[in-house]
Amino acid sequence: MARLFHTTFVVTAVVLLSAAPFLRRSFGAAQTQASSNVNVTPADLPKPLLALEHYRRARMAKGHVEVTWRSYDGVPVNEHSTSRFAFGDYIYTMRGDDEGRTGHDALGNPSRGIHHLMLRRNGERWWAAGDSLTADYAEPGNAYAHEKMVPIPDVRAVDLSPELAPYPDVHSALWRNRISKQGSVTYDVSVEGNIHIVSLTGRREKHVYECVWRLDSSRGWSPVGMQYRRDGRMLAETKVNLAEYDGVWFARSIAQYAASYEGGKKPRCVISIDAAKFGDRLPDQFTPDDIGIDVGTNVGTFGTATQPGGIRLWDGQRPIASDEFHKLERAGKLKRGPRFTRGAEQASARAAARGADDLGHSRENKLIAAIREHEFGSWKSFVRTFSDENRLTAAQRRSANGIFDDCVSRAEEHLARDRTEFDELATEIDIVNSPHFKDDSGERYGVVMRRREALMKPINEIFDKQLRPRLQGLLTTEQKDRPSEQPGK
């Protein structure tokens, strides 16, 4: 399978060790050395961590988990998500806050909607909104495209990192955290009743880093607490309450503490597992249909490092060129799906409502609807890609979305001001595109396209002179210095 994640995630997990004397148990000799630069066999690794990984692989192959993330650092906010998984298929759905808001514009007006991220066992990656109109797609084996897409966090690893890092799977959280990548590391294991304490120690420059898991062997080897230390000082800690779901042990809540927030005395955030199901009763696989991809959905492809991507249409099995899709549609071999049709009708209704002005232009202008769908859609994709590639914080992403909404509002002013001209242009485009229209020289077509270019110039300038530079203004010095390919329009 292609490498799925480009970002190196920050580390990992542990807990305060009790002052009570430990029942020491030697692991190998007194301790076990493992290097990330050599092949390490399972026999060299701590048995409690191996038992935890085996339990989750065996008992959590299929699941459905509802999560609420409550953050207290800054403006308190609740964010909701759903994870669905079946063997190698994984869907992560972002559902917004308590009122379904996923962000705010520059004036503070809420924006709503859901977003799906999906990884399939065949190596495909998908992003989709909830309206079945648009999606992004990275085909298997396209490492360039996979690196550009948002990492998909595995909820089964959410309780394995005190910094709540978004690990892509349990294996990465246990064996590919920051300390384990430091070269030669030391594992130490001790036992207090049912609690198995695994300490991972590594050195970098003059500092000693330690990651400690407290695992309950009677409850699926689940962590009950974790801690990350540097030179003996706690930097991050989690305290976990456990519950049993369908006979499977997993976290009920995870309270995270950080030395940088309230001195580590109050939770910086709390993750609640609102509902969880595991087991055979759940689906065995997930497909694009499960995130709303329908026949007719516009699918953006990333291309490669040297070849540009483009927009294709979903035919029910794969993305195909629009010309091929329309040919099959005219031949009666394809029919746009009901979810796409419903989403398109709703979008057209919204566009028609926005297009009405004081002159009484209430009928839908197909040209304006197309501009809103394709031009503004490409702006939205640009903002999303810009945010991902520059690893914007949550606050920066909200500002970026606000800039996008403000730029769209400015563009809408041009559409309203020039509505009569757009109406006339739409009629002319219908005429020159008619199969009965004869224009052998192409002169009439050229005139129409030049008029369209003139009408679109103020809108295109909003992208070049407003959206792009204002997004650049959000970046910190560190983000500007980080190597990154900036997306084009």
Q: What is the pLDDT of residues 153-164, one digit of tens each?
A: 999 999 998 888
* Same domain (yes/no): 258, 401: no
* Same domain (yes/no): 253, 371: no
Instruction: Supply the CATH number for residue 194's domain.
Output: 2.50.20
In a domain, 91, yes or no: yes
Checking if the pLDDT of 92 tops 80, the result is yes
In a domain, 332, yes or no: no
Confidence bin at 20 (pLDDT 50/70/90) = very low
Q: What is the predicted pLDDT for the residue at 196?
A: 97
In a domain, 324, yes or no: no
Confidence bin at 13 (pLDDT 50/70/90) = very low
Q: What is the predicted pLDDT for the residue at 63?
A: 97
Confidence bin at 3 (pLDDT 50/70/90) = very low
CB 390 within 8 A of CB 475: yes
d(CA 366, CA 452): 14
d(CA 45, CA 28): 9
Checking if the pLDDT of 108 tops 50, the result is no
Domain boundary among 278, 294, 320: 278
Beta bridge mates, 298? 134, 313
> Which is more confidently placed, 158 or 361?
158
Query: What mean pLDDT do residues 446-451 have?
Result: 78
Checking if the pLDDT of 93 tops 60, the result is yes
Beta bridge mates, 238? 226, 256
Q: What is the predicted pLDDT for the residue at 443?
A: 64
Q: What is the predicted pLDDT for the residue at 431?
A: 65
Confidence bin at 30 (pLDDT 50/70/90) = very low
Q: What is the predicted pLDDT for the residue at 138?
A: 85
pLDDT tens track for 205-260: 889 999 999 999 999 999 999 999 999 999 999 999 999 998 999 999 999 999 88
Please state which of the ranges 60-64, 128-132, 173-177 shows the lowest mean pLDDT. 128-132
In a domain, 305, yes or no: no
> Which is more confidently placed, 107 or 191?
191
> Which is more confidently placed, 67 or 303?
67
Q: What is the predicted pLDDT for the residue at 73?
A: 79
Query: What mean pLDDT do residues 344-349 have?
Result: 75
Checking if the pLDDT of 315 tops 70, the result is yes
* Same domain (yes/no): 249, 396: no
Domain boundary among 255, 278, 301: 278
> Which is more confidently placed, 396 or 355?
396
Task: Supply the mean pLDDT for the chain.
Answer: 79
On the 0-12 / 13-18 / 19+ scale of CB atoms within 10 A, 468 is buried
d(CA 87, CA 62): 6
* Same domain (yes/no): 248, 363: no
* Same domain (yes/no): 194, 85: yes
Q: What is the predicted pLDDT for the residue at 351?
A: 56
* Same domain (yes/no): 186, 51: yes
Domain count for the chain: 2
Q: What percent of the chain has pLDDT over 90?
A: 36
Query: What mean pLDDT do residues 376-401 have?
Result: 86
Q: What is the predicted pLDDT for the residue at 398?
A: 83
In a domain, 341, yes or no: no
Q: Which two tokens stand for residue 406?
A: 């403000």
Q: What is the predicted pLDDT for the residue at 353?
A: 59
In a domain, 151, yes or no: yes
d(CA 211, CA 199): 6
* Same domain (yes/no): 271, 394: no
* Same domain (yes/no): 262, 369: no
CB 215 within 8 A of CB 48: yes
Domain boundary among 227, 245, 278: 278
* Same domain (yes/no): 99, 245: yes
* Same domain (yes/no): 386, 259: no
Confidence bin at 424 (pLDDT 50/70/90) = confident
In a domain, 200, yes or no: yes
Q: Tell me the residue range of the domain where 455 lies.
A: 356-481
Q: What is the predicted pLDDT for the residue at 43?
A: 57
CB 310 within 8 A of CB 264: no
> Which is more confidently placed, 475 or 50?
50
Query: What mean pLDDT do residues 291-309 have?
Result: 80
Confidence bin at 272 (pLDDT 50/70/90) = very high
Task: Name every residue whose Cβ is closer than 8 Å to that of residue 129 and which is 6 or more positions away in sequence.
Answer: 113, 114, 115, 116, 135, 292
Query: What mean pLDDT do residues 327-340 have?
Result: 91
In a domain, 346, yes or no: no
Confidence bin at 17 (pLDDT 50/70/90) = very low
Contacts 24+ apart (CB under 8 A), 466-475: 466/403, 466/407, 466/410, 467/379, 467/382, 467/383, 467/403, 467/404, 467/407, 468/382, 470/403, 470/407, 471/383, 471/386, 471/400, 471/403, 474/392, 474/396, 474/399, 474/400, 474/403, 475/390
Q: What is the predicted pLDDT for the residue at 31?
A: 29
* Same domain (yes/no): 259, 373: no
Q: What is the predicted pLDDT for the residue at 85?
A: 97
